[in-house]
A and B are shown apart, each in its own frame.
Chain A
């Protein structure tokens, strides 16, 4: 069997990986791979493949041989002229398609991690978020029965107020979720409440969308200001429930 030329090998690998990603994410896993990320992936995959193929002198010579012969071999004049004419046109077309204005809204570099202020005014009181802890967390060890009662109270508050958006499974798939953009937070995700301290949740729940910091605005959040509807105790109970139901632990610095 004839060996595949190295240049063709490179092309096949790169194209294969590209469609491999599309096949894997878009069809097998059912979660599309964002084009911005795929472009970044492909850039470095091309760099990696070229690094391997040009690591040795022989490899490099073999890789560029078809290009060299296309440019230098007099017998390939016709092909050369076609390639030299088509390539700039293809590049120009690509650039044009990238830059032509469309009706599509521009991409959004939305940051989903608001940084908490050091202190915050809630219920007319000033809370220091650096030292604030859930006052009922200690019951988990001191009085497990009372703790369960707190969690259950949190569950009913959640179902009455929060599940419409965040879902009865806390997965961000509540009945209203489809009408919101961005969608409500999925607490089951390892990258959400499991990464945060309870004081952070307290601040986010109590002050809602309007309480988000000025930096990296606009936040586009439809989270209500819950301090206007729930008591301080109720917010802490809901927080207990969020962690309890998802099986996550709040972030802490030490144990």
Chain B
């Protein structure tokens, strides 16, 4: 028999589902709408209380996006962790999943507040642009607002019903709610992505920007799917890093051994999530950039070779930092095991390859030279370092970094295990052969096809490089899992026995991810240059120029500081919520 409360819940879910599917009727509803592009002058942009409208919108949008990315990502891996708990019947997973979603609840209201701030800022400072965009996307914007009800209801039932919906069918209902929450959240993101990608690569409008009535066309513009893919993967990596920072925060402030062990385990899992999502991220980024180039060579060159190129060097440095920090965390984590000493000697070789690849990864194509160096080189071109500045070198380097991060994972997994199968040597030889062949293939593809063939092969070679990396990781993981099936433990893993500095690596990951998102987000938006909507709606405000790199980096950095302060608040408040005080003599006794 289904209880009344479950029936009520099912009705709520049905309503939520109906709300979620409503946006699909948008394309039909918008037929016949005429929206034209206005010609603006600087006086059409309101100046209010001396506020710099660009910076106000920039910071509001960036802060909203950071929180939105976090609250959209957390339910994705909470759902996965909860499913693992159901599959393994290990309650620790269920508890961890609950703790993760708990952190995102406070962040959820901050997301909504910042979303409101962003919307108001846009309507106040850029009314004509918003009139145009709401004209094009009117229905989808309305449904976006409605979807928030669906998102909120599902999230609240999912979170507050966590301990109620436990066991048997109830757990399945809870899992379904998690799935629904993710579906609604993803839909929300896809809609918002459509607006910003429309501004980059407008569709559904004629050459003068007049809306043709094709809302679906406007949504499904050229860069929509590349951004969708990139954002989903990046959100998970970012969300994982933020909850990793939460675990580190709790670990460092833990009072007992049990608490330290719990948050160490939580931090390890969060890092695992962040890194698993980080591994395919360079490929998603490469796909997005290739699509930007294909949409507009001008945009592509402005992005990576022109005015924004130097920010890409900072991006490269931050991504390398992520890889070093993630590997360092794994190496420190090997200290939890008594058997790790067998693998310590390999760390230096892994570090060597990762650092060497990293140096190649961030070597710029255009070098910053002093006059003396310029004279000594006879010009700005460096015979040996110049070739490291182009994509084949970068692709080769990043594939090697990813492969060796996977090696760190493998040795971490092995550090506490003793294989019992008879084919240990064959298995190890197979894995070594696999890695050697993979590395050779990546090098050949990068060097031969990257430098000695034409650009069609050069660009195309990046795909087999990626596939090689993925195949090596998947097959070696499969071999490893068979090799260590039924393996003995050297000793029980000592969760909590990690140095505090490893926790700072988790903080570093979160800060680097945040900064990276801010910088790359600015570039993505900045490549429109003096256009509100590329090639159709000109920005004629006083801010219709590309700010200097230093100025942009400062604005982004201030945003990072504000975001981090708010995140610390979220961590603190979630800690406070579980504390109870019993003031003596305050309450009347019965």
Contacts and interface: CB of A to CB of B under 8 A. Distances in A.
Contacts of A194: 454-455
B335 interface: yes
A110 B367 CA distance: 9
Given A44-B355, A104-B371, A190 B324 contact: no
B174 interface: no
B455 A249 contact: yes
Contacts of B301: 113-116
A215 B307 contact: yes
A51 B327 contact: yes
Given A51-B327, A186-B381, A253-B294, A36 B367 contact: yes
Contacts of A4: none
A109 interface: yes
Nearest to B389: A191
Contacts of A189: 381, 386
Nearest to B505: A51
Interface in B288-328: 294, 296-302, 304-307, 309-310, 317, 320, 324, 327-328
A77 interface: no
A111 interface: yes
A99 interface: no
Given A34-B373, A52-B351, A182-B380, A191 B387 contact: yes
Interface of A is mostly: loop
A55 B370 contact: no
Given A118-B298, A190-B390, A191-B390, A249 B454 contact: yes
Contact of A51 (B331, B371, B374, B535): B331
B302 A215 contact: yes
B185 to A, nearest CB: 35
A35 B298 CA distance: 32
Contact of A31 (B351, B377, B499, B549): B377
A143 interface: no
Interface in B351-373: 351-352, 354-355, 358-359, 362-373
Given A52-B348, A114-B301, A216-B306, A107 B454 contact: no
A52 B349 CA distance: 9
Contacts of A40: 317, 362
Interface residues of A, number: 63
Contacts of A32: 373, 376-377
Contact of A55 (B299, B344, B549): B344
A183 B455 contact: no
Interface residues of B, number: 70
Nearest to B374: A181
A181 B69 CA distance: 46
A56 B346 CA distance: 13
A69 to B, nearest CB: 20
Contacts of A248: 454
A114 B327 CA distance: 38
B363 A37 contact: yes
B386 A116 contact: no
A84 interface: no
B287 to A, nearest CB: 15
A129 B297 contact: yes
Given A34-B373, A35-B373, A118-B535, A252 B351 contact: no
A44 B320 contact: yes
A251 interface: yes
A115 B331 CA distance: 44
B384 interface: yes
B170 interface: no
A215 B454 contact: no
B331 A55 contact: yes
B451 A190 contact: yes
Given A31-B384, A104-B370, A130 B297 contact: yes
A192 to B, nearest CB: 9
Contacts of B379: 172, 177, 181-183, 186
Given A114-B301, A191-B365, A37 B306 contact: no
Contact of B335 (A57, A195, A216): A57
B451 A54 contact: no
A149 interface: no
B354 A48 contact: yes
Given A29-B383, A32-B377, 19 more contacts: A31-B377, A31-B384, A34-B385, A37-B368, A48-B352, A55-B344, A107-B370, A112-B365, A113-B305, A113-B365, A115-B305, A172-B379, A177-B379, A183-B381, A191-B365, A194-B455, A197-B297, A215-B529, A251-B455
Instruction: Report the 7 A-B pairs with minimum CB-CB distance, sorted nearest first.
Output: A113-B305, A249-B454, A183-B379, A48-B355, A55-B331, A115-B301, A115-B302
21 contacts: A31-B384, A32-B377, A34-B367, A34-B382, A41-B359, A44-B355, A45-B355, A45-B359, A47-B324, A56-B334, A107-B370, A109-B368, A109-B549, A111-B309, A112-B365, A114-B301, A115-B298, A172-B381, A189-B381, A189-B386, A250-B455
